[in-house]
Amino acid sequence: MKRLIQLILLLVIVYNTRPLWDEFVEPYVDLSFMDVIGEQVETVRESPIVIEGVNTVMGKVESWVGAGAKSVVQVDKPALTTPDSQTFSIYNVQIGDARADVEQEIGMPKRHSQNEYGTDWYAYHENYQHFMMVSYDENDQVNGLYTSHDLISSTVGIALNTPKETVRAKLGEPMDKLRKELTYYILNETGEHDYFQLDDNYVTVFYDIHENNTVTAIQIIDKDLETAKGSMYADESDSLKEGFEYQLFDLTNAGRVTHGLSVLTWDDHVRETARDHSLDMAKNNYFDHTNLKGKSPFDRMEDDGIHFMAAGENLAYGQYSSVFAHEGLMNSAGHRKNILSDDFGYLGVGVAFNEESQPYYTENFFDN
C-alpha cells in the first residue's frame, strides 16, 4: 500500500512539472486553404482588333493560339555533376557552399529581394535562362536554393521531369506535417508538391500536373533557417511585399523561357493597379476579380490610365511565398494560360497582407 501511495505521488509530481520537460502543442492547423487561386480573366479593348490574323471583340474570350512563340536565343546548358555531400544540388551548388564559390561558378546575381525567411533571394540567370535563386546566411554560406530549370542533380537520379512516383520511390513517403513552435501544420495534401527532410535540409519537390505529374521545380531550405521561421507566415513589411512582387515576376519569366516564350517587361504603373486590388481584398476580406464597387480588372486598369489591347489577371491568396504562389498558378489551367500567353508584353505584380500576415497576390498582364 505504501508503494502504491508513493507511485501515485510520483505521477502527480510528474504531471504537474510536465511544462518543464515537454511543451504543450496546439491542435493541427490545416493549410489546405493555401490553394485558393482566382479564376483566369482575359479580354481585349473595346474596338475590334486583329491579332495574328484572328478577329476578337471586347467581352469575348478567344481560345486561339497565335502564330507561334517569339524566338528565344538559347544558352548552352551547363555541365552538371553529382552532389558530393548531399542528396541534391542545383547548378552544382549545395547548401553550405560559400558565396564566393557560387558566384565564381555562375556569375553575379541579377536581383536580390527579401523572402519569407528574413533573408534575400538572389536571382541568377542569363536573360531568365538557367534560372535559380540562392539565399545566404550571415557568413555568406548558402542556406536556401530554388530552381524551375534543368539544373537539378541528385545522388538518386532525380532531375527535372522525373515522375512523382519515382521521386517517392527514391525518397520515401513525404512529410505530412511540420511543427512551428507550439503548432503542428498539416502540409498541403493536393499532391502538387511533396516535402522531405534530407541532409538536415527541408526539400520541397513541385510537380506539374499538366505534364503528367513530373518534377517542375525544387526548393531546398537549411533546417536551421526553417526552424528560425517561427510560423508559416512571415511578418508583413514593405520590403517583404516588394520582394514577393519581384520574385513572382522573375518566376513568371523563368517559366515563360522554359516554354520558348519571350520575357515580359516589368511595368510600375500596372503594379500599382495590382497592389490596390490586393490591398482592397486583404482589408475587406474577399477574393474576387470584381471588386466591391463592381469594377473588373479592366475597369481598374482603365481608371488608372493604362492603355491596353489585351489584358489578363491572375489572383492567389494564402500561399506563404512567391514560389508557392507561382507553382500553384502554373497548375491552374486558366492562370497557366495567362502566364504562358504570347499576347502579353508587360506584367506588374501587387501584393498585400491581411491581419494574419497572409498575402494576397495580383498579377496584371497587358499589351498595347
CATH superfamily of 233-367: CAP (3.40.33.10)
177 Cα distance to chain centroid:
19
CA 98 vs CA 79, 84, 132, 215, 362: distances in Å: 20, 15, 16, 27, 35
Total-model pTM = 0.84
**245 Cβ contact list (under 8 Å, min separation 6):** 271, 275, 322, 349, 350, 351
CA–CA distance, 228 with 279 (Å, rounded to integer): 28
Q: Domain segments of the chain: what residues?
A: 88-232, 233-367
Q: Are 286 and 292 spatial neighbours (Cβ–Cβ below 8 Å)?
A: yes
CATH topology of domain 88-232: Pathogenesis-related Protein p14a (3.40.33)
CA 300 vs CA 33, 102, 231, 303, 352: distances in Å: 27, 43, 34, 5, 17
CA angle 227, 233, 236 (to 5 degrees): 120
User: In DSSP terms, which residues pair with 312 in a beta bridge?
Assistant: 42, 365
Same fold, 88-232 and 233-367: yes
Can you give the pLDDT at residue 77?
A: 76
Give me the helix-helix angle, 322-330 and 238-258, nearest 10°: 40
Q: What is the pLDDT along the chain (368 residues), one digit of tens a residue?
A: 555 455 444 444 333 333 322 233 344 444 444 456 665 565 544 322 222 222 222 222 222 222 233 456 677 778 999 999 999 999 999 999 999 999 999 999 999 999 999 999 999 999 999 999 999 999 999 999 999 999 999 999 999 999 999 999 999 999 988 887 777 777 766 789 999 999 999 999 999 999 999 999 999 999 999 999 988 899 999 999 999 999 999 999 999 999 999 999 999 999 999 999 999 999 999 999 999 999 999 999 999 999 999 999 999 999 999 999 999 999 999 999 999 999 999 999 999 999 999 999 999 999 99
